[in-house]
Every structure is written in C-alpha cells, then in structure tokens.
Amino acid sequence: MYIVFGVLAGALIGIFAPITVPEQYSHYMAIAILGAMDSFFGGVNAMLRNKFQLKIFLAGFFGNALIACLLTFIGNQIDLDLFLAAVVVFGTRLFQNFADMRRFLLTNGKKTYKIRSKGSKDSSEN
C-alpha cells in the first residue's frame, strides 16, 4: 500500500512542481513514464493477488523505463520511430493489467463461470 501512496505523492509533486523538460527530451520522458505506469499497474495487480515482490517491481519499474528510453535513443540515432514498439507493448500490457484488476475486483477473486451456448452440455447439468 505504501507504493500506491508513494506513486500518488510523486505524481502530485510532478504536477505541481515548476519543473520543465526540454523539448528534445520530451519523447524520452513520455516513454519512460509509460514504462513506469506499466510497472505500477502490474504491481497493483500483483498486490491484489498477494503475489507482489518488491525486487521484481523495482527491477521492472526502472528496467522498463530504461529499455524504453534506450529504444527511443537508438530510434532517434537511426531516424526510425522505435519508440512506437515500446508504446504498443507498454500500452497493451497497461490495458491488460487494468482488465485483470477490474475482473478480479468485480468477481472478488471468485471463480468465474463461462456462458455456454444452447447446444453445449456441461457435466454439472446431469
């Protein structure tokens, strides 16, 4: 739970602090934030399932941001938008983590049942 408060406090400080990022670094910051958000939602998802490990979270948090920035840097050097690969991967994982959290919270961790078509037989119906 401390991590959630830490991230919220960091976000509020970032929003209200008078710090500006130079334009040439804006792609790097945007992609690093996306990588960090992916790790944050993955950590919250793991906390909900009681599988959270701080070492894994921190490695993913900083590793994702670093790899995303490295991809962006290499892409800039060869004049190719490699940062789009990170955007797609982190965006997909972010939405997947959110969907997993939503599903877990709405079902309270209970087993979910699939809707069956009219023609299918279930062994519990006999």
Q: What is the pLDDT of residues 23-56, one digit of tens each?
A: 888 888 888 888 888 988 898 889 888 888 889 8
Residue 112 pLDDT > 60: no
Question: Is residue 101 domain-resident?
Answer: yes
Flag whether 93 is in a domain: yes
Which of 3-7, 17-21, 56-60, 117-121 has the weakest average pLDDT?
117-121
How many domains does the chain contain in total? Answer: 1
The pTM of this model reads: 0.69
- Is 122 among the domain residues? no
Cβ partners under 8 Å of residue 17, min gap 6? none
SS3 108: coil
Residue 101 has pLDDT above 60, yes or no: yes
- Asked if residue 17 is part of any domain, the answer here is no
